[in-house]
Amino acid sequence: MWIVAAFGLATRLPSSPTDIFAPVSTPAQSIFELSLLVLAIAAAIFVVVSGLLAYATAKFRKRRDDDGREPAQVYGSTQVELAWTITPVVIVLVLFLATARVIFTVQDPPRRPGALEVTVIGHQFWWEYQYPGLKVVTANELHVPVGEPTFLTLLSADTDHSFWVPRLAGKTDLIPNHPNKMWIEPREKGVYVGQCAQYCGTQHAKMLLRVYVEAREDFDRWIKEQAAAAQTNDSSSEGRRVFERTACINCHTVAGTAANGRFGPDLTHLMSRETLGSGVAPNTAENLRRWIRRPDDFKPGALMPPMGLTDQQLDAVTAYLVSLR
Amino acid sequence: MSTTDSLGWTGSRIASRPLVDKLHEWVTTVDHKRLGLLYVGYGLTFLLVGGIEATVMRLQLIRPHNDFIGPRAFNQMFTMHGTTMIFFVVMPIIFGFANYLVPLMIGARDMAFPRLNAFSFWLMAFSGLFLYFSFVGGYGLYGAGTAPDVGWFAYAPLTAKTFSPGHSTDFWTLSLLVSGFGSIGTAINIIATVFCLRCPGMTLGKMPLLVWLNLTMAGLVILALSPLTAAQLMLLVDRYLGGHFFDTQAGGSATIWMHFFWVFGHPEVYVLVLPAFAFASEIIPVFSRKAMFGYPVMVAATVAIAFISMSVWAHHMFTIGMSSGANLFFVLSTMAIAVPTGIKIFNWLATMWGGKISFAAPMLFCIAFLFQFLVAGLTGIIQSVAPVDWQLSASYFVVAHFHYVIVGGILFCVFAAFYYWFPKVTGRMYGEALAKVHFWLFVIGFHLTFDFMHIPGLLGMPRRIYTYEPGRGWDTWNLIVTIGVFFQAAGILAFAVNMIRSYSRGRPAGSDPWDAWTLEWSTTSPPPEYNYASIPVVKSRRPLWDLKHPEDPDWKYE
């Protein structure tokens, strides 16, 4: 009964960075406009039918001075039944046609030659992004240019996941053996957040999404930096030795070194990212060290094991990773 | 009136016998009324368990980054809560009422297959206990054992050996497999009973609506449970015999599981809600003092819902990347089901129109049901619009929507049914004042929890997360949602106290306390083991109305 008020309140709360009623991208905008129509129809039906229910409940209650006789027995009426069958049918048809239009515009957009293509691969419990043709592989923080469409190919390395950044587009699942497509076309620069929306295992809750929408020149600069080889400095060679001699390299890649594992996030330009562990903590040297020591402190159930390093080794590895810019 | 004598099995005759004998009678019984009560008692017990699981989850979500329980325990909680509430709470309760009421309402002495009936109950009973044994298996209670944590729809490939080693998924799949056989047995039994055991004069067109709705429910159970059972067998083949149906790492298909599950899962919603409609269709006319408006249309709408419900399953899958054509089909079929459902609401409304409504507890729960089911239907329409569902799917909006259906719709009707038939089953009246306390507490708790639960969904909060980030604008709403839980718990407590106290101390009800019109009110309360001394003969849909109003009987108009 309070639901209408609740809807009203929800639409007027600007404070959420994941509000579906604050679209900044073409598909999200189309959905938003359709949802207004649907909400209006639903609200109108609610007002009429609940009004009738409330009226009947109040008007036809048994009075105190009731004479004890049964009311007139009415068994039905074909006209009335027809009326409340045909009216909903008409409403359904209108709603269906409006829906069909948006399904086609969002789901089957014209392909634009030269548009950015990104392959998104869902992992337990992080995101891998590959920019085919641009030789860029990164993790957890997607960068795209503003004002242009970006087409995403969605794959999964293990279980089902779902890519959901509410202000950019509706969600689409990442399903193993079942490649999916979606697209975004952000209008405003900024960082847009979201998270995995299909239960994928223990740490489903901390599989967060961050999309950086940048001006074209900033995006191009970012691509250039990401495509470059890793920078390694001599002072951290101790850390590099630990990194390459323990199991780290079974799962992680640092381009241009012996590390070419594929199970975990690519670390070539680790320090260019703002967050750690798929968005669970700011990417600082201190957090990085804590993460390496025991990932479960941030994300119990994360698939990265604690490696049992000594304090000295931890310092060295952290120093090495901090140098990966 | 000597009610103690007519109390039958609760009366002094049995009370004087040793407890072991009494228990033995309950375990070996094939009487439809006792099995009905066993089902209902079983469902109520698990309602408490499922409710505790829900409370644990809500305490964890009361604020962001809470650490009341960890991710593994939380994932077990929502898996067990969902599985329990669907398969071991609502299913047993509706089967219990069907068992108790259908033979009585069609003037029969028992179900068609009494022993199959007992067998079905015990299958379901053992499968529920088996599922809960998972809590003590493996690492024991301390580590929550090996309770399943794959979610109640257990999407592949999370259930594959690779991602779910050990036996937690086996507990889930075997439990549902066994309980599925029990449900199919009961469904066959209900269908056979309705088709073969109706009393003279009761043609299909003169059956009470409750019987029609349960007949349709039983048909749906057979159609819906079979694919689920098949899918469980396939999953077991995958896990133990090297099959690759759903094993994506060996080329299996994750989406095939989704289709199998939801072709069960959506009709299942109607399996649960049709009996709830059945209760409303008996209670609203009696408390409005009017015949059901548009009986043939109600029957037609019921059957239409059953048919359409078999073709809407993939609206649970709008985000999996189906073609736009497939999405369109499921949008249309899903919207179409709103038409017969709307017709039902209008017919209940028309039944109240011009009546003399009295607000005893059963009617209060039914009126709240009408409002709440209207909202649940409308949020359903909102989500049937596939593009809007791309935003709302798997969010808290969905969680709010289906709890609106299951709690606001089904559970409210179930409470109405409890109060309505309590005098018939026990021979005693429940306490009306305490029932109203239950009603208001539950209405307040329900709306606090499930109205406000829609909002975090609109603000991008996905379901099945054990914790969430601060700064997403979800905190306040989650706090309110959790507060509502305590009102609901208090309501349930009032309900339990009322049932237990009235069972021994309620005032005698007599055989027909509501001045009602269907056959069960013509026998004693509680009914004797054989139900009717002589099989009744009916001429209309309201045989007791005909009896009470010989000057103006129904059969003149039907």
Contact B72 A300 (CB under 8 A): yes
Which of A154, A183, A214 lies at the terminal end of a domain, its last residue?
Answer: A214
In a domain, A71, yes or no: no
Model confidence pLDDT, tens digit, residues B280-318:
999 999 999 999 999 999 999 999 999 999 999 999 999
d(CA B426, CA B8): 10
CATH fold of B31-556 reads Cytochrome C Oxidase; Chain A (1.20.210)
Out of A50, A76, A124, the one facing B293 most closely (by C-beta) is A76
A96 touches chain B (CB under 8 A): yes
Q: What is the DSSP string of B225-245?
A: HHHHHHHHHHHHHHHHS---S
Chain A neighbors of B338, CB-CB under 8 A: 88, 92
A203 touches chain B (CB under 8 A): yes
Residues in chain A: 325
DSSP state of A126: E
Query: Hey, what are B445's tokens?
Result: 């708790």
Chain B residue numbers with beta carbons less than 8 Å from the beta carbon of A88 are: 338-339, 342-343
Chain centroid to Cα B497, Å, comes to: 22
Residue located via tokens 């989850």: B57
Amino acid at A143: H
A198 and A239 in a single domain? The answer is no
Is residue A55 within 8 angstroms of chain B, CB to CB?
no
Assess contact for A289 and A235: CB atoms under 8 A. Answer: no
Domain with A167 in it: what CATH number? 2.60.40.420
Q: Within 13 Å, how many C-alpha atoms sit on residue B536's CB side?
A: 25
What is the pTM (predicted TM-score) of this model? Answer: 0.94
Per the CB < 8 Å rule, is B357 touching A158?
no
Q: Which residues of chain B have pLDDT under 70?
A: 1-15, 140-144
Of the partner residues B339, B352, B474, the one whose CB lies closest to the CB of residue A85: B339
For strands A180-184 and A172-174, give the pairing. unpaired
Helices (DSSP H) in A12-25: which residue ranges? none
At residue A155, the 3 state secondary structure works out as strand
What distance in Å separates the CA atoms of residue B441 and residue B522, rounded to the nearest whole number? 34
DSSP symbols for B489-542: HHHHHHHHHHHHHHHHHSPB--S-TT---SGGGGS-SSPPTTS-SS----SSS-
Rounded distance, CA B526 to CA B427, Å? 5
- A239 falls within a domain: yes
User: Cβ of A56 and B394 within 8 Å?
Assistant: no
DSSP characters over A51-115: HHHHHHHHHTBPPTT--SPPPPP----HHHHHHHHHHHHHHHHHHHHHHHHHHHHHHSPPP-TT-
Residue contact B291–A73, C-beta within 8 A:
yes
CA B315 to chain centroid: 21
Residue that has been written with the tokens 């590959």 in this structure: A130
> Residue B216's pLDDT is what?
98
A6 to chain B, any CB pair closer than 8 A? The answer is: yes
Q: What is the largest CA-CA distance in chain B?
A: 74
Note whether residue A194 is domain-resident: yes
Please report whether residue A105 resides in a domain: no
Co-location of A252 and A301 in the same domain: yes
**Number of domains observed in the structure of chain A:** 2
DSSP state of B395: B
A175 in the same domain as A260: no
Burial of B109 (0-12, 13-18, 19+ CB in 10 A): middle
Taking CA–CA distances from B69, the nearest residue in chain A reads: A300
Residue of A nearest to B456 (CA): A10
Nearest chain A CA: its distance from B28 CA (Å) = 43
User: A125 and A181 in one domain?
Assistant: yes
- Dist CA B221 CA B176 (whole Å): 14
CB pairs under 8 A between A and B: 295
For residue A140, the enclosing domain spans 116-214
Q: How far apart are CA B314 and CA B324, in angstroms?
A: 12
Model ipTM value: 0.94
3-state helix, strand, coil in chain A (%, to 5): 40, 20, 40
Question: What radius of gyration do chain B's Cα atoms show?
Answer: 23
Nearest one of B414, B480, B412 to B451, comparing CA atoms: B480
CB atoms within 10 A of CB A282: 11
Largest CA distance in chain A: 100
In angstroms, what separates the C-alpha of A234 from chain B's closest C-alpha? 39
Q: Is the separation of the CB atoms in B112 and B197 below 8 Å?
A: yes
8 Å CB contact of B357 and A62:
yes
Angle between helices B32-60 and B475-505 (to 10 degrees): 150
Q: Identify the residue whose tokens are 């900044």.
A: A24
**Based on the domain organization, do A210 and A268 belong to the same domain?**
no
Task: Give Rg (Cα) of chain A.
Answer: 27
Q: Which of B87, B344, B108 is nearest to B213 (CA)?
A: B344
227-286 of A, contacting B, C-beta below 8 A: none
Same-domain pairing of A167 and A244: no
Domain boundary among A168, A185, A214: A214
Distance (Å, rounded) from C-alpha B489 to C-alpha A26?
45
Residue of chain B whose Cα is closest to the Cα of A198: B394
pLDDT score at B361: 97
The answer to whether the peptide bond before residue A125 is cis (omega within 30 degrees of 0) is yes
Question: How far is C-alpha A110 from the chain's CA centre?
Answer: 23
Indicate the helix (H) or strand (E) that contains A150. strand A150-156
For chain B, the structural domain boundaries read 1-27, 31-556
Please give the pLDDT value at position B205: 95
Q: Same domain for A158 and A192?
A: yes
Restricting to A residues 158-177, those with a Cβ less than 8 Å away from any Cβ of B are 158-160, 162, 164, 166, 169-173, 175-177
Same domain, yes or no: A130 and A197: yes
Q: At which residue do the structure tokens 């099945």 appear?
A: B464
Residues 6 or more apart whose Cβ sits within 8 Å of residue B3: B427, B428, B508
Domain assignment present for residue A40? The answer is no
d(CA A39, CA A37): 6
Residue A267 · residue A274 · CB < 8 Å: no
The whole-number pLDDT of residue B460 equals 96
**What's the pLDDT at A8?**
56
Q: Is residue A72 part of a domain?
A: no
Query: Do the chains contact at A160 and B155, CB–CB below 8 Å?
Result: yes
Q: How far apart are CA B451 and CA B449, in angstroms?
A: 6
| Separation CA B384–CA A51 (nearest Å) | 24
**Could you tell me which chain B residue has the CA closest to the CA of A175?**
B254
pLDDT tens by residue, chain A, 325 residues: 455 555 555 555 557 999 999 999 999 999 999 999 999 999 999 999 999 999 999 999 999 998 889 999 999 999 999 999 999 999 999 999 999 999 999 998 988 888 999 999 999 999 999 999 899 999 999 999 999 999 999 999 999 999 999 999 999 999 999 999 999 999 999 999 999 999 999 999 999 999 999 999 999 999 999 999 877 666 558 899 999 988 999 999 998 888 999 999 999 999 999 999 999 999 999 999 999 999 999 999 999 999 899 999 999 999 999 999 8
- Residue B46 structure tokens: 């698990």
The residue from A214, A244, A259 where one domain ends is A214
Q: Are residues A204 and A245 in the same domain?
A: no
- Do A209 and A290 share a domain, yes or no? no
Judge whether B171 and B148 are in contact, CB under 8 Å. Answer: yes
| Nearest C-alpha neighbor of B520 from the set B199, B116, B115 | B199
Are A238 and A305 contained in the same domain?
Answer: yes
Backbone angles phi and psi of B472, in degrees to 5 = -95, 0
**Nearest Cβ partner for A76 among B297, B335, B472:** B297
Contact call for residues A188 and A213 (beta carbons, < 8 A): yes
| Cα gap B30→B118, rounded to integer Å | 6
Quick: pLDDT tens for B133-146. 999 887 766 666 78
**A289 in the same domain as A249:** yes
Tell me the CA distances in angstroms from B29 to B118, B120, B182, B506, one per residue in order. 7, 12, 16, 26
> What is the spatial distance between Cα B554 and Cα B541, in angstroms, rounded to a whole number?
7
Q: Which of B158, B332, B466 sits opposite A205 (nearest CB)?
A: B466
Rounded Cα distance between A251 and B245, Å, is 29
- B493 to chain A, closest Cα gap in Å: 24
Asked whether residue A95 is assigned to any structural domain, the reply reads no
DSSP string covering A168-211, please?
Answer: T---EEEBTTB-EEEEE-B-S-EEEEEE--S--STTGGG-EEEE
Task: Determine, yes or no, domain membership for A85.
Answer: no
pLDDT of residue A287: 97
- What does the alpha-carbon distance between residue B209 and residue B303 come to, in Å, rounded to a whole number? 12
Over B99-149, what HEC string results?
Answer: HHHHHHHCCCCCCCCHHHHHHHHHHHHHHHHHHHHCCCCCCCHHHCCCCCC
Are A92 and B155 in contact (CB < 8 Å)? no
Which tokens go with A38? 């649907």
